[in-house]
Structure 1
Amino acid sequence: MQARYFEREEDGRLRCTLCPRACRLADGQAGFCFVRQNVGGRMVSLAYGRSTGFAVDPIEKKPLDHFFPGTNVLSFGTAGCNLGCRFCQNWSISKARVAERRSQQWGPREVVDLAIEAACPAIAFTYNDPVIWAEYAIDVAKEARARGLKTVFVTAGYVAERAREEIFAHMDATNVDLKGFTEDFYRKVTLAHLAPVLETLAWLARTDVWVEVTNLVIPGLNDSPAEARALAAWVGEHMGAEVPLHFTAFHPDFRMLDVPPTPPETLARARAAALEVGLRHVYTGNVHDREGQTTRCAGCGEALIVRDALALASYRLAGDRCPRCGAKLAGRFGAAPRTPGDGRPRYLGLA
């Protein structure tokens, strides 16, 4: 598939303009992400149409707690990634080349057909970072919107300015994974940089896209209360106090098998720090923590949506307002959620 987002260099190489890496590719070379390649002077997307699998997930798994909570979403990804996170928890996909993953062609119409058949009102581009397969995500999103479905972009936010404008013009919601809050962490642990992610987040806050932010808390690396407080304060100042922030637990994986899981107490401290600096909707994830996963009214404190991990226990929101005081809850909400249940994903198998 012919790709966009590149410029031709004087020496014949193609410079990718999709993400801040700006990979310069000679004929036959692929970028850091493995899926964008110079083939005979043409930039090609090797990932276009090639899904490594589909699943029906609760929207809370993305995680999105203020975007049609209690509904299901068709989730899928491809192969490759433009970050090099040592802790990657989807490494079998994100660190693989397309040829190493069993996959078949799924055109945009076929993906939307599958979502409709699975009774999913939304499609999520996830598992590996959809930035690297932007053309495919955009085409699926166009088809989805034309047929009345919502779109969700789950990303690390490592994307160039021109590309992000086109990508997010077709998205209804996004969760951006803010890996840490120091340049040292980004450079050493993700092989990337912090500044472009912060630029993406600040820009998104000025758009109509619903945005939530996730921080995976890793013991000994980015788990200090001071960092949690600084991160939350930045979100409040540059994105707004109503933006939901998720602190989620790490489990040993990929190249960090020697790091212990995140204690629930660490997440609770991070959440408390974020609430203290003024954020109104702060959550914990990857743990059982009913209070840390409950959506409360920012006005009166009423419990509006009660969760336990991905399970929806109760839903008391009246449209988009608190039934007790009438205050409006920030987010996007529908008439009724799915039946409360355990929130387990339903895998549809590899494509």
Structure 2
Amino acid sequence: MNIPDLNTKKWTQESQPAKLEEILGDGSVKCHLSPRNCVIKEGQVGFCKVRGNRNGRLVTLNYGKGVHNTQETIETEAVFHFSPGEKILSLGNIGCMLNCGYCHNWKTSQAKYVTDKDVYYYTPEQVVDSALRHGIKILSWTYNDPVVWHEFILDTAKLAKEAGLINLYKSAFFITEEAIDELLPVIDIFSISLKSSSPEYYRKVTTGWIEPVLEGIKKVYNAGKHVEISTLMVTDISDDEDSARTISKWVLDELDPSVPLHFVRFHPDYKMSNNVRTPINRLHKAKSIAQELGLRHVYLGNINDDEATNSYCYQCSSLLVTRYGLNAESIGLDKTGRCLKCGCYNNFIILEKNYSKNSINLQHLNTSSLEKKKFNWHGDIVSIHAQVTNTLDTPNTIFFRRRMRDDAHGEWECISLLAKESYRFIIAKSKPQEIGPEFLLSQGISSNLHEVFDRAHFPTEAIEDIGISMDDTTPKIGYKGKQNMYTQLIKMVNKDEN
């Protein structure tokens, strides 16, 4: 991917025709993408701020515009039962159909905070080509929320399927049935964030409403798609036992006991930065409740060194998949997703692995001429995004490895870059004794590192610009508005539900 000239490119200037429009008689248009069904007058935009009315027609302002594409693992998306450890290409955009008070991607989900320096430009062909060249089989539509990137997703996902790739849709799923009907032919995996079981919570915390989310989940499940559900357990607001019980019972009654359910740890952000991380014991209690009700595959998210992220056979309890953070290894499954010990099918889909680590021996290379860069894990910061750009007109290579205690280290790995290519990838702590990654950068490679605060967080600020965070619970660059939303929400939600 080539870097645009950010000094001349303004992301709001260009638009493309949008789908799901209804032309009204007074020059307004109605958008049928989200359940808001926004009526938009000439020259204005809808709630999401990225769909508008231009000359009496519905347009999208974010077609092909988003944050930097990033190589990650499928565990990043709260998907544990589709080819564990598989590489994905994560694609996030601009805008959102919701405005959650704790949003950890508020700088891109809320379009008014988007700066031109954070916007990258793609064509469907460039996205698919990047995945194929880097040996990635899955495109993941994610981060702020893919709903508002509807047209670009449809075009790119169709092209991806024609190239033999798989499409994953990670979303809060505040979307209309008409839009889902357009997604079903091209999306293979749905990882859906069910924010809460409470209608009051949805209205007051997310600014949406729960009913279309529940109907949408059932629709994709009934269409035979691979579905996994995740719920963010916000401290003192939605991390109680009743919330865990109600959500678990809904999955059990409306879907089936084999659908994986993830209870995800919250980190303070946006209008709720004065909160604290979810106590881990509350997450474990939620997991126990779900399993007691009969769900077979229940996990905890945004925790690193905990057996609650592993997969076990629900029939014989054999260990099937080990996970440490965002790293996974299948040790007890056959190629059909069955337990090697008892033969029970555990709702896994396994892709054939036709790639391995790009390990390399650097003994023949004069490393004294290469720039060295290191990063140390600290507290809850156990993953980073490394963004590298080849500034040369010829191909180039970067090298990286994991450092361990007592001067031990992993093998060197490499990523090859085309001329002028920019690439971003995640490195996550893989074992307790790992202390952090190190990089060797050839001449012509520029780089920066971004601290990741949880698996669904896309950082836009580099540590080279803002420094390393001294607080590992919430990003250094925070929301500058009022920070009292946490206390208000506790009072409102508790009052309504009592």
Q: TM-score, normalising length from structure 2?
A: 0.68
1:323 aligns with 2:301: no
The answer as to whether partners of 2:93 and 2:108 remain within 8 angstroms in 1 is: yes
Residue 214 of structure 1, CA deviation:
0.7
The equivalences for 1:142-291 within 5 A come to 142-291=158-307
**SS class of match (2:191):** strand
Gapped runs of 5+ residues in structure 1? none
Query: CA offsets per residue over residues 13-55 of structure 1, 9 Å max, x none?
Result: 1011001011110001111111101011111111101122111
Gapped runs of 5+ residues in structure 2? 1-15, 358-381, 388-422, 425-459, 461-498
Q: Distance in 2 between matches of 1:150 and 1:344?
A: 25
Q: Distance in 2 between matches of 1:271 and 1:101?
A: 42
Residue 333 of structure 1, CA deviation:
1.0
Q: Distance in 2 between matches of 1:6 and 1:325?
A: 52
Runs of 4+ in 1 over 6 A off after TM superposition: 337-340
Map of 1:83 onto structure 2: 98
Query: CA offsets per residue over residues 121-163 of structure 1, 9 Å max, x none?
Result: 1111111111111110111100110001111111101000111
1:2 aligns with 2:17: yes
**SS class of match (1:261):** coil
Q: Distance in 1 between matches of 2:312 and 2:96?
A: 35
Q: Distance in 1 between matches of 2:249 and 2:126?
A: 43
Q: 1:346 to 1:148 in 2, by over 3 A?
A: farther
Letter matched to residue 146 of structure 1:
E
Q: 1:256 to 1:115 in 2, by over 3 A?
A: same
Q: Which of 1 and 2 has higher RCO (CA within 8 Å, sep 6+)?
A: 1
Query: CA offsets per residue over residues 213-244 of structure 1, 9 Å max, x none?
Result: 11000011111101101100100111111100
**SS class of match (1:255):** helix
Taking every aligned residue pair, what percent have the same amino acid on both sides?
A: 35
2:352 to 335, 346, 349: 335
**SS class of match (1:53):** coil
Q: 1:146 to 1:25 in 2, by over 3 A?
A: same
The answer as to whether partners of 1:57 and 1:344 remain within 8 angstroms in 2 is: no
Larger Rg over CA atoms = 2
The answer as to whether partners of 2:92 and 2:143 remain within 8 angstroms in 1 is: yes
Q: 1:289 to 1:236 in 2, by over 3 A?
A: farther
The answer as to whether partners of 2:85 and 2:329 remain within 8 angstroms in 1 is: no
The answer as to whether partners of 2:48 and 2:111 remain within 8 angstroms in 1 is: no
Query: CA offsets per residue over residues 170-228 of structure 1, 9 Å max, x none?
Result: 10101100011101100000000011111111112101221101100001111110110
Map of 2:29 onto structure 1: 14
The answer as to whether partners of 1:94 and 1:128 remain within 8 angstroms in 2 is: yes
Map of 2:138 onto structure 1: 122
Q: Distance in 1 between matches of 2:53 and 2:323?
A: 47
Q: Distance in 2 between matches of 1:207 and 1:296?
A: 27
2:85 to 58, 70, 93: 70
Q: TM-score, normalising length from structure 1?
A: 0.95
Query: CA offsets per residue over residues 280-300 of structure 1, 9 Å max, x none?
Result: 000001012432111111221
